[in-house]
Amino acid sequence: MDIAVIGSNMVDLITYTNQMPKAGETLEAPDFAIGCGGKGANQAVAAAKMGGSVMMVSKVGDDLFAPNTVENLKQQGVDTQFVTTAPGTSSGVAPIFVDDQSQNRILIIKGANQQLKPADIDAAAEALKACQLIILQLEIPLETVYYAIDFARQHDIKVILNPAPAVGNLDIDYACKCDFFMPNETELEILTGMPVGTDDEVIRAGQMLLKRGLKNLIITLGARGSLWMAGDTLHQVAPTSVKAVDTSGAGDAFIGCFAHVLVKTSDIPTAMAQASAYAACSVTGRGTQRSYPDADTFQRFLNVN
């Protein structure tokens, strides 16, 4: 495998609504869908759809959602040898609400993802050692994230840490051990306590983290593109303009595509540009993983945008 994703999987329960209900209010919504998601699984699927050789270390529950989750990963080209069952536990679930402006609100119930432990990394150690890159997020226990970072350092494997969902007690010293730290603007605000409403404010918040010792900070800014900061380097990638239908999972699409291109080229600006376009393509369809294009579909998108 080129890429290992150590992280979460979720079952997405997606409601499309014209209006968000107020407290105590019941409204009828026009549409609903069930999909496979979770930040870890999304990133693994995006990288695999782009042609990457991807394995995943993850936990599913022992419920009716689990077999579908594993089968979906296999169908998307992700190696599932180390996706195992947590007995007596539900699978992770993510109710998602998408409004008529294509903005989403998400709740997550971690379920079996909470049971992904350092022992699971040890069980997959030989396969992980053969990978060039490990991707991590924060929908699994922090002790497992930190253990994975130390494992990667020990075996000279590059690491992307996506601090999502952001937690105030994240150890920035561990983040500094990673090769890439990739928050979105909201996560950057939570982690620094600084405003991020303008590009200048984003840069100031980023500089605060760089002073702590981060190697490469890549901030995804939604419709404002993305920004790479490293030492004196400041490189911004403009967004690809599209009509968004559903922005769910766009950040994960970015990271999965970025990881694949980085492994193939070792070129950060090229990986960012490709990832930005890939994320834009993903928001033109509904859902998370099902909206991610394969390599051929993505190439056709690039040819007309």
Cα distances from 164 to residues 8, 136, 138, 142, 177, in angstroms, run 11, 9, 5, 12, 17
282 is in an annotated binding site: yes
38 is in an annotated binding site: yes
102 is in an annotated binding site: no
**Where would I find the H helices in the chain?**
39-49, 65-75, 118-123, 125-129, 142-154, 172-175, 185-192, 199-211, 250-265, 268-282, 295-304
> Is 179 among the residues known to form the active site?
no
Q: Which residues contact 134 (CB under 8 A, 6 or more apart)?
A: 3, 4, 5, 6, 128, 148, 151, 152, 157, 158, 159, 160
223 is in an annotated binding site: yes
Catalytically annotated residue among 252, 267, 294, 296? 252
231 is in an annotated binding site: no
- How far apart, in whole angstroms, are the C-alpha atoms of residue 275 and residue 253? 7
248 is in an annotated binding site: yes
- How far apart, in whole angstroms, are the C-alpha atoms of residue 104 and residue 93? 16
11 is in an annotated binding site: yes
251 is in an annotated binding site: yes
The answer to whether 251 and 160 have CB atoms below 8 angstroms apart is no
226 is in an annotated binding site: no
90 is in an annotated binding site: no
> Residues within the annotated binding site for K(+)?
246, 248, 282, 285, 287, 291
Residues recognised as catalytic:
252
> Residues within the annotated binding site?
10-12, 38-42, 139, 184, 220-225, 246, 248, 251-252, 282, 285, 287, 291
> Residues within the annotated binding site for substrate?
10-12, 38-42, 139, 252
> Residues within the annotated binding site for ATP?
184, 220-225, 251-252
